[in-house]
Amino acid sequence: MKDQVGVAPKKGHVYTRFGDRGQTKLVGRGIVGKDSPRVQAYGTIDEANSALGLARATTHSDDLFSLILEIQGELMQVMTLLATPAGVEPPVMPVSETQVVRLERAIDGFEEESLVTGFFVRPGGSQASAALDMARTIVRRAERHVVALSRIEPVDPLVMKYLNRLSDLLYVMARVDEQREIRRLVVSTLNSELGGATQSGALTLALCDKMVEAGMKRAREIGVPMVLAVVDAGGNLLEHRRMDNALVVSISLAPRKAYTAAALRMPTSQLAEMSQPGAPLFGIDVNTPNLTLVGGGLPVVLGGVVAGGVGVSGGSVEEDTSVAQAMLAAIG
């Protein structure tokens, strides 16, 4: 039977009707408006905690999952502290310097793995990283609310310090997750597309010379000065040749094409198709260093396995690809 208007809800109901007048209770039974600075502060942290729940539910990394779960528990602690008005003993321990140091150490550890820059990023490299970036911006907003609260009521400085470090950590965690997710998708896609070929054969200097000479011959035939590069299976540069009057930009672009072809074991033109919006590798060029989507890079296959890659730059995509194909044809 539905509750009648004016009849107090039964004990245990989620709803209490107390907040219908725009008020809420603090720890210790204090009553404030729902728009009070204190409620704004801990309510915003509640938002961040929810975004972290989405990140935890979507990440494929066990260490990120465990760390997020731990952070969520600490945010519950911070929420309780902020919901406790001055003069009331909080029912939880205060934030400690040890907790702040632990966040800093986590940042240091993840920075060693991730390519983190000081520039603004475009969120959305993975589902979990998008949620982490959302949580990061909400924590920043919570920090601003806590600063505003501290101007009118006492607030433990360690709470503000914790929130500041947490937003930094969430930024780094987002970068780590999106880069790990890209690698996971690349491996999955390559196993599907290429049947799982892995180890390289041996690309000798003699083979490299033979490919480069054949490539330059083809470039002269079409009348386009080129830059040609050869890398091994690990993406390490083996040979790099610039023809007279080749474009300066091609000096760096040719090795990147070779690296991309070897690292992903596919032509760079194929990667361009697979990284379009909605495709499985969308965003890989933005979040992974040294990759390029420009055609003109081809994997070198010896004995049925990828031994390295060649990259050509200086003309149109069709001209670059033509020279790269001539390089491969030279070694059969």
Residue 109: C-alpha distances to residues 119, 136, 172 (Å):
20, 18, 10
For residue 296, what is the DSSP state?
A: -
Q: For residue range 224-260, what is the model confidence (pLDDT) as tens digits?
A: 999 999 999 888 999 999 999 999 999 999 999 999 9
Cα dihedral sign, 26-28-32-37: negative
pLDDT tops 80 at residue 285: no
Upper half-sphere CA count for residue 69 (Cβ side, 13 Å) = 9
Name the pLDDT band for 11 (thresholds 50, 70, 90): low
pLDDT tops 80 at residue 280: no
Count how many residues are written for the chain: 332
Rounded Cα gap, residues 195 and 108, in angstroms: 37
Instruction: Among 3.40.630.30, 1.10.3720.10, 1.10.510.10, 1.20.1200.10, name the CATH number for the domain at 18-194.
Output: 1.20.1200.10
- Between CA 68 and CA 75, with CA 72 as vertex, the angle to 5 degrees is 135
How far is residue 120 CA from its own chain's centroid?
12
Can you give the pLDDT at residue 172? 93
Q: For residue range 28-45, what is the model confidence (pLDDT) as tens digits?
A: 878 888 999 999 999 999
Rounded Cα gap, residues 53 and 132, in angstroms: 9
The CATH H-level (homologous superfamily) assignment of domain 205-329 is Haem-degrading domain (3.30.450.150)
Span 110-139, mean pLDDT? 83
Residue 129 token pair: 């990283």
Rounded Cα gap, residues 258 and 251, in angstroms: 12
Can you give the pLDDT at residue 199? 44
Q: What is the pTM of this model?
A: 0.59
Contact partners, residue 61, CB within 8 Å, separation at least 6: 128, 176, 177, 180
Contact partners, residue 316, CB within 8 Å, separation at least 6: none
Q: For residue range 132-180, what is the model confidence (pLDDT) as tens digits?
A: 999 999 999 999 999 999 999 999 999 999 999 999 999 999 989 988 8
Can you give the pLDDT at residue 209? 93
Write down the domain spans for the chain: 18-194, 205-329
Can you give the pLDDT at residue 66? 94
* CA-derived radius of gyration, the chain: 28
Name the pLDDT band for 4 (thresholds 50, 70, 90): very low
